[in-house]
Structure 1
Amino acid sequence: MRNGNCLIFLVSGSLLVVPAPVKAESRSYVGICEASAAALIDASHVAIASDDYDAILVYERGKPQSVARLEVSDATDIEAAARIGDMIFWLTSHSVNKNGEDKKKRKVLFTTKVGANGELSNAGPVYRNLRADIAGALGRREGRLAPFFNIEGMTATPEGHLLIGLRGPETIIGDKAILVEVENPMQLVSIAASEAVAAKIARVVTLDLSDGPEASGRGVRDIVRVDDRYLIVGGSEPDGDDPPPKLFWWDGKSGDDATPGPHVDFSGMTPEAIIAWSNHDGEVFSDNGGAMIQGEECADKAPPVGAFFPSLDIQF
């Protein structure tokens, strides 16, 4: 039987309460398949980046075709985005590539400016030393950390800081996910490259994104602020591995206190980006790389005709 937002089953004489799935509407956007980062432009438009494409695309909510694009020439493997004022911060994975090579274009924090009419333009210099800054905050040497390091999520705090979520390493102590708070993001992209500047790490938070004691943990695939709390997309470090993707709430104040978020069925999806359209609804975007389109695996270095990525509307 159903009671509010729960399903209640009678099992061997006892009650088992299971959260009912939150209403979710699926749709697809076209042009690329490896959607990996998203940021709100206005109440009906979103900017989407791919981890392997040379442009940021702007979509109107629910409309499959992009309405604008901004070329990106000096960054690849974009995995996270967050908006502060009229600036959108974009962050690459800072990971080594599949061949173990440490590419300069994969270690970039850069910004775009949102104009009065919603158009995007490049803004400010880039910052390339974030991995070293985070390694220091984690008490690791960068060279030892680099093979396991992977940024996947980012959002802004009310104070204008950046909360950066790591997909890997997903374990420091106790198989917990890692969030790093950077308190001077504007400074990082506004000071000339010749001047000494470093990210000020305000805190490092570890969160249990597992399904309970003895269960495997999850890394952060993305994070978004919703009013006075944060909604996190947790996922396994390898794609398509266990545990499956899941949403979590975090109050933003302390570690180890993530709670289950809206119960959404992500079957067949690799959720990599999330936005909040309002304090009551949002949208999750999936990386569709590797999907078979016209007989070939979709990849955004050269997206085939018909390339698309799915999304889910969610309510909370």
Structure 2
Amino acid sequence: MPAGGRISYQASIEYKGHWAGKVLNRAARYSEHLRAKCRACSVQAQQGGAKKPSLTDAKLASWISWRKVLETCPAHYLSRPDVGYPGLKAQPCSTKVKISELDLARSSHLSEDACRSEYHPMVGRLGGAFAGVLVAATIPAYSLAAPFQYSGLCEASGAAALDATHFAVASDESNTVRIYKRGVPDPVGKVNFEDFIGADKSDLEGAAAVEGRLYWISSHSFNKAGEDKPKRKRFIATDITAGSAGPTLAGAGVSRGDLRNALAIAADVQRSEVNIEGLAAAENGALLVGFRSPQKNGDAIVVEFSNPSEVVNSGETAAKFGTVWTLQLRGLGIRSIELIPGSPQTYLIAAGPAADSQEFALYRWSPSSTVPLAKLDSSSLAGMRPEALFVIPGTSVIQVLSDDGSDECSDESTPERDRHFRSVDIEID
């Protein structure tokens, strides 16, 4: 993790150049012109002054159009057009500059031994929606990456990765899970679990991937009318299987017991107040269950679910709950929680209010660390409602999905072709 608990929003491409320029301080003005200028060539900036330009998140955000350049440059080289750029100074590099290629929808950064100019180090974190131009300043690790918009759903609630390029998303308004390919707006598959679950919509809220299996959990809450609906108390397992167009899901098991009573007892809260939204993998096949509400003395609740596999495999085995944690999230509850692979039990948490509002935050939580909880600078997510996050397998990239449900976009009433939700990648060091 970068110092101070910051996270990096970055773009992807592999780039090599013999010349390095200072930061484009008029990026927005030239972005459309640069879009079509992609050829296997060196980068050369002309007519520069020695004044050090600044780079802000707003300017980085203006480079959204560079995504098209990345998608249309098969040689993975970029060059600027033969025009001058105010505020640029061409400087020869002593080494080639390489940006690690993950894929066009993932994150990467400049290598630490990259080029330096006589005015300012050229290397640092490359943030923003492009990675084809060297930057002349160290970019804050929380730099904004362009959100990507997916279609077919408004109210993305629970989600998990199927492999490095596919992920599954559930809405709290249906029991049909949609499968997406990263960077492709429309879903590439759908799996209707109504018959498997035994209900039309179960308010699916949390998902966790464990060794080829995805676990899903309902909110277990009363509905808005105050009714206690059995269909909202579901815990299921689905297995990742091979499909004709990529990975898909097949039903594997359903819990027949009432997890809510046992969860309420474990957390020492009233059963009528339970509202679950977070689910994450843990050690030894266990899961962590995150409460949106209630809270204990203003702190969010996380409960260890010790035997999820046995519960869904038999359907009748009683759930066992272990350790209970309370987290000081400044009055917010758990909206999503995800284990960061390769870490000593470190989790990323999307926190949000118990009620519907725009106050959201990201936290890093390491139960065994001397500094177990750190709030991350998530100001660049303003306007989004993070409801699901998951790690892209084999990378340090976490994909964050926004619940974009509103009066204008509803999974119950809006035509499917008009539904959409946003997604953004963050990179965890």
Distance 1:255 1:139 in 2: 27
Task: Give yes or no for the alignment of 1:120 onto 2:244.
Answer: no
Task: Give yes or no for the alignment of 1:172 onto 2:293.
Answer: no
Choose from 205, 224, 231 the match for 2:348: 231
CA contact (8 A) 1:226 1:279 kept: no
Matches within 5 A, 1:1-150: 21-73=142-194, 74=199, 75-117=201-243, 118-140=247-269, 144-146=270-272, 148-150=273-275
RMSD of equivalent CA atoms: 2.2
CA change 1:192–1:273 in 2 (3 A) is closer
Q: Report the AA paired with residue 123 of structure 1.
A: A
Distance 1:303 1:232 in 2: 30
Task: Give yes or no for the alignment of 1:251 onto 2:371.
Answer: no
Distance 1:255 1:182 in 2: 24
| Equivalent residue number for residue 401 of structure 2 | 285
Unaligned runs of at least 5 residues, structure 2? 1-53, 56-120, 126-139
Matches within 5 A, 1:216-227: 217-227=331-341
CA contact (8 A) 1:232 1:249 kept: yes
| Equivalent residue number for residue 203 of structure 1 | 323
**Equivalent residue of 2:399, what SS?**
strand
Query: Which one has a larger percent strand, Structure 1 or Structure 2?
Result: 1
Displacement, 1:270? Answer: 1.3
Deviations 1:1-32 (A, max 9, x none): 89978xxxxxxxxxxxxx76333220111011
Q: Which moved further from structure 2: 248-257 or 20-29?
A: 248-257
Displacement, 1:163? Answer: 0.5
Distance 1:176 1:231 in 2: 17
CA change 1:267–1:23 in 2 (3 A) is closer
Q: Report the AA paired with residue 259 of structure 2.
A: L
Q: Report the AA paired with residue 272 of structure 1.
A: E
CA contact (8 A) 2:256 2:315 kept: no
CA contact (8 A) 2:278 2:336 kept: yes
Distance 1:192 1:149 in 2: 22
Distance 1:106 1:303 in 2: 22
CA change 1:249–1:208 in 2 (3 A) is same
Q: Which moved further from structure 2: 246-255 or 93-102?
A: 246-255
Task: Give yes or no for the alignment of 1:276 onto 2:391.
Answer: yes
Distance 1:128 1:98 in 2: 23
TM-score (norm 2): 0.62
Deviations 1:23-69 (A, max 9, x none): 32201110110000001100000000000023000000111110111
Displacement, 1:158? Answer: 3.3
CA contact (8 A) 1:31 1:308 kept: yes
Distance 1:231 1:21 in 2: 15
CA contact (8 A) 1:30 1:66 kept: yes
Distance 1:104 1:24 in 2: 41
Query: Which one has a larger percent helix, Structure 1 or Structure 2?
Result: 2
CA change 1:159–1:137 in 2 (3 A) is same
CA contact (8 A) 1:24 1:315 kept: no
| Equivalent residue number for residue 189 of structure 1 | 312
| Equivalent residue number for residue 155 of structure 1 | 280
| Equivalent residue number for residue 11 of structure 1 | none
Deviations 1:115-166 (A, max 9, x none): 14522111123344111111111234xxx431x2210111101321110110
Distance 1:273 1:26 in 2: 14
Distance 1:192 1:27 in 2: 39
Deviations 1:172-212 (A, max 9, x none): 12x1111011110001101144xxx22111110011112xx
Distance 1:180 1:253 in 2: 16
| Equivalent residue number for residue 14 of structure 1 | none
CA contact (8 A) 1:283 1:313 kept: yes
Q: Report the AA paired with residue 368 of structure 2.
A: K
Displacement, 1:265? Answer: 1.8
Displacement, 1:236? Answer: 1.1
Q: How many residues are treated as equivalent by the alignment?
A: 281
CA contact (8 A) 1:22 1:262 kept: no
Distance 1:209 1:254 in 2: 17
Distance 1:58 1:192 in 2: 26
CA contact (8 A) 1:165 1:180 kept: yes
Deviations 1:272-291 (A, max 9, x none): 00011154211111111115
Distance 2:324 2:370 in 1: 9
CA contact (8 A) 2:239 2:252 kept: yes
- The percentage of counterpart residues that share the same residue type is 37
Unaligned runs of at least 5 residues, structure 1? 6-18, 211-216, 293-297
Q: Report the AA paired with residue 235 of structure 1.
A: G
CA change 1:264–1:38 in 2 (3 A) is farther
Runs of 4+ in 1 over 6 A off after TM superposition: 1-5
CA contact (8 A) 2:261 2:271 kept: no
Distance 1:284 1:127 in 2: 31
